[in-house]
């Protein structure tokens, strides 16, 4: 059986769902294929909290932040769902770029203020502060478990087709489009499309492997897939208020066991989520153990014991997800022939989800290119 469609989106995580939503808003025919079921926990787009941390100073990201804040509001209004809890975000520690961040955000109309550590500790007593604190009131927590089905539902209402439990088993770039072979419970099927949007997360290189090797001209930066293992710690201070937070290490003895900066937030009903950034073990996404790396987990407990006085560091539930990271931690958003690629979100992409959907739709429709820093051939 062969089916001809306009645009196929491969991967129904955050970015694929956003691309389908954005394309459907433009009246385009979209078929999204996802190898797993709705709400699966195997990739990177699950759970009920992700920080919307506005802590950027580079102009491309600051522009995306401003657009993203407006698009999240649009998505909430259109879907009738609350997707963003505006708790604010506090970034603290000896990070030399904080002044640049504050200046860039203020110029873009995004609020930023420096607080004395004592004032921050009074506002958020569950967190220990010892150096500079940059408060970003427009930040907060996003809910992937609500956002993905909302975008998919809205896309379907405009005519998009969602095919879960449908795996791409062959991928061929042709002169006039793309030929895909997909498998589902109904058996194999050939899909031919004018263009394809690849938003396959940790499976991107596997999916594109044959196309990358057959002289099609497809080239992307190397993608490193890691299994990250944050944890939810039980709250012991019921009266504490919790913003999102990002903590940058210093040089003292208290920081010796750190692997990276630490991010965190409150997940309602689960506790305070905290984790290292992008330093988990390399994994094959099809062969994950889902077990936390014990040394990193012990160091995370020690972090909570020292820096999060509002939690019990010995009472926690480990979490497992994946990062797909580029060498420079900038995203891959580009079009090469009939193939649009959205990949390498490097553990900081979710906040930009609706903007990335818009950019991927632009690339698929030939409206405008992505910013230069996201080009695949950089």
Per residue in 198-228, pLDDT (tens digit) is 999 999 999 988 666 565 666 889 999 999 9
Per residue in 25-76, pLDDT (tens digit) is 999 999 999 999 999 999 999 999 999 999 999 999 999 999 999 999 999 9
Cα(first)–Cα(last) distance of the chain, in Å?
39
**Widest CA span in the chain:** 67
**Eight-class DSSP state of 253:** G
Query: Which of 353, 372, 366 lies closest to 19, judged by CA?
Result: 353
Query: Regarding the domain with residue range 50-142+225-325, which homologous superfamily does it belong to in the CATH classification?
Result: D-Amino Acid Oxidase, subunit A, domain 2 (3.30.9.10)
pLDDT for the residue 254: 83
Average pLDDT, the chain: 96
Per-residue buried b or exposed e for 74-101, using 16+ beta carbons within 10 Å of the residue's own CB: ebbeebeeebbbebbbbbbbebeebeeb
Per-residue buried b or exposed e for 314-332, using 16+ beta carbons within 10 Å of the residue's own CB: eebeebbbbbbbbeeebbb
pLDDT for the residue 217: 66
CA 64 to chain centre: 14
Other C-beta atoms lying within 10 Å of the C-beta of residue 229: 22
Q: In this model, does residue 372 exceed pLDDT 90?
A: yes
pLDDT for the residue 259: 96
CA torsion sign for 199, 24, 370, 72 is negative
Asked whether the domain spanning 50-142+225-325 has the same topology as the one spanning 2-46+146-220+327-374, the reply is: no
Q: Domain 2-46+146-220+327-374 maps to which CATH number in 3.40.50.150, 3.50.50.60, 3.30.450.40, 3.90.1170.50? A: 3.50.50.60
Residues 324/346, Cβ–Cβ less than 8 Å = yes
Q: What radius of gyration, in Å, describes the C-alpha atoms of the chain?
A: 21
**CA dist., res. 112 & res. 138, Å (int):** 8
Per residue in 92-131, pLDDT (tens digit) is 999 999 999 999 999 999 999 999 999 999 999 999 999 9
Its pTM surpasses 0.75 = yes
Crossing angle (nearest 10°) for helices 59-79 and 144-157: 70
Pull the structure tokens for residue 242.
Answer: 């919790």
Residues 64/110, Cβ–Cβ less than 8 Å = no
Give residue limits of the domains in the chain.
Answer: 2-46+146-220+327-374, 50-142+225-325
The SS3 call for residue 145 is: helix
Per residue in 169-207, pLDDT (tens digit) is 999 999 889 999 999 999 999 999 999 999 999 999 999
């Amino acid at each position: 059986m062969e089916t001809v469609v306009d645009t196929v989106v491969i991967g129904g995580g955050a970015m694929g769902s956003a691309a389908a939503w954005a394309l459907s808003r433009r009246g385009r025919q979209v078929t999204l294929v996802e190898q797993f079921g709705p709400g699966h926990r195997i990739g990177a787009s699950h759970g009920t909290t992700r920080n919307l941390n506005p802590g950027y100073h580079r102009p491309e990201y600051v522009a995306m932040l401003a657009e993203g804040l407006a698009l999240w509001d649009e998505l909430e209004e259109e879907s009738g769902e609350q997707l963003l809890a505006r708790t604010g975000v506090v970034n603290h520690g000896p990070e030399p770029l904080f002044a640049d961040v504050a200046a860039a955000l203020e110029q873009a109309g995004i609020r930023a203020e420096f607080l004395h550590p004592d004032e921050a500790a009074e506002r958020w007593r569950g967190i220990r502060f010892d150096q500079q604190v940059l408060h970003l009131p427009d930040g907060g927590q996003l809910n992937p478990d609500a956002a993905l089905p909302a975008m998919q539902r809205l896309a379907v209402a405009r005519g998009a087709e969602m095919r879960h439990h449908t795996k791409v088993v062959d991928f061929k770039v042709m002169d006039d489009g793309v030929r895909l072979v997909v498998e589902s419970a109904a058996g194999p099927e050939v899909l031919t499309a004018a263009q394809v949007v690849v938003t396959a997360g940790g499976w991107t290189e596997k999916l594109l492997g044959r196309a990358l090797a057959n002289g099609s001209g497809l080239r992307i930066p190397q993608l490193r897939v890691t299994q990250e293992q944050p944890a939810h710690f039980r709250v012991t201070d019921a009266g504490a208020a919790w913003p999102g937070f990002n903590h940058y290490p210093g040089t003292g003895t208290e920081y010796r066991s750190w692997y990276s900066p630490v991010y965190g937030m409150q997940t309602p009903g689960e506790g305070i989520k905290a984790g290292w950034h992008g330093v988990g073990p390399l994994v094959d996404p099809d062969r994950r153990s889902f077990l936390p790396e014990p040394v990193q987990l012990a160091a995370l407990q020690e972090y909570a014991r020292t820096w999060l006085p509002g939690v019990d560091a010995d009472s926690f539930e480990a979490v497992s997800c994946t990062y797909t990271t580029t060498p420079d931690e900038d995203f891959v958003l580009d079009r090469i022939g009939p193939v649009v690629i959205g990949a390498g979100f490097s553990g900081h992409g979710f906040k930009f989800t609706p903007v990335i959907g818009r950019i991927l739709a632009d690339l698929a429709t030939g409206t405008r290119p992505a910013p230069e820093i996201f080009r695949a051939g950089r």
